[in-house]
Amino acid sequence: MIRAAAFNQGKFPTITFVNLAKASLEVDLKKLVAALEKQLERDFVPIWGYPAKLQVADKPKPDEWQIVFLDDSDAADALGYHDLTKDGQPVSKVFVKSTVAAGEKVSVTASHELLEMLIDPGAQMWAQGSNSLFYAYEMCDAVEDGEYEIDGIAVSNFVYPSFFESWHKPRSVRFDHLNKVSRPFQTLKNGYQIVSNGSAAREIFGSRHKERHFHEVEDRTMHRSEYRKRIANVRAARVNPPVALVTETGLAGDTRTPRAAVLHHAGRLLTELAAVVDPLPGGDPFELARRRPQSRVVDPLPGGDPFEL
């Protein structure tokens, strides 16, 4: 039985790398972890501010996060690996055979998973763009074809916090480590991102080539991106009636404005509060309001935005 998520409880994590793959990693695991430690300390932590202790072990302790190397998603399923350990800690999976078959490096994939896991271990954070879409708070997806070497070992490019800040003008600040991105929320040619309009989540791609490669070559089964989409869509289905899916150019057929969405959720909240808070025991929770004389709606800023205050 898996306990509820137990991470981010007042201390920086220890992340244990466990190799259960029969296929070759094509890199020495201890040297890989040493390179990843250097990437964190030298490149990542000064920008993002989230350190971690990395180690290699066969049996992680209950309070340790895990990055597990497996042959493929079938092996993960057979061994009972999910999105959390049985002790409620996050676990990321690197599928060795699938990675190599897709023409990618295991070391870059491990770096990618480490950096994204460290910032958003629950795969649940989103950033709102200027186009009213929400972008998954993933450090490497948009720039995932970029890599550089540390002590001869390839590691992943990653975005900076400014990447998720829509007010920056193009080329006004640095948006990623390798300085390939020129504006907020940009998807590079061989990258992708998950976006949501609050009612559905899907991928957008930097090119048609990447889209074909993503669907036809890459194995995303049991990947954290699939977990993120699944959770986002389940939550949206509970709150909103079905509306159009997100497209690469925006929303198709969604007539709910952001203001209408706010009012919709506020109304639901008031209804739920009324169900549990009764100012007149045994009576109608809205009875007090109905006893008062009706008053007209007052606009504190006539002709202006009611959310301006």
The pTM of the whole model exceeds 0.95: no
Tell me what pLDDT residue 200 has: 86
Would you list the DSSP string of the chain? -PPPP---SSSPPEEEEEE--SS--SS-HHHHHHHHHHIIIIIIHHHH----EEEE-SS--TT-EEEEEESSHHHHHHTT--SB-TTS-BEEEEEHHHHHHTT--HHHHHHHHHHHHHH-TTS--EEE-TTS-EEE--SSGGGTT-EEEETTEEEE--B-GGGG-TTSPTTSS--BTTS---STTPPPTT-EEEEE-SS-EEEEESSHHHHHHHHHT---TT-HHHHHHHHHHHHHHHHS---PPEETTEESS----HHHHHHHHHHHHHHHHHHH--SSTTS-TTHHHHHSPP-----SSTTS-TT--
Whether residue 143 is contained in a domain is answered as: yes
Whether residue 162 is contained in a domain is answered as: yes
Structural domain for 113, as ranges: 14-251
Above 60 in pLDDT, residue 152? yes
Average pLDDT over residues 159-188: 98
- At residue 237 the predicted structure's pLDDT band, cuts being 50, 70 and 90, is low
Whether residue 81 is contained in a domain is answered as: yes
Structure-model confidence comparison of residues 259 and 50, the more confident one: 50
Whether residue 269 is contained in a domain is answered as: no
Whether residue 160 is contained in a domain is answered as: yes
- At residue 44 the predicted structure's pLDDT band, cuts being 50, 70 and 90, is very high
Whether residue 291 is contained in a domain is answered as: no
Domains in the chain, number: 1
Tell me what pLDDT residue 260 has: 43
Query: Of 9-18, 39-48, 249-258, where does the model show the most confidence?
Result: 39-48
Whether residue 282 is contained in a domain is answered as: no
pLDDT tens digits, one per residue of 196-210: 988 888 999 999 999
Structure-model confidence comparison of residues 191 and 264, the more confident one: 191
Tell me what pLDDT residue 232 has: 65
Whether residue 189 is contained in a domain is answered as: yes
- At residue 148 the predicted structure's pLDDT band, cuts being 50, 70 and 90, is very high
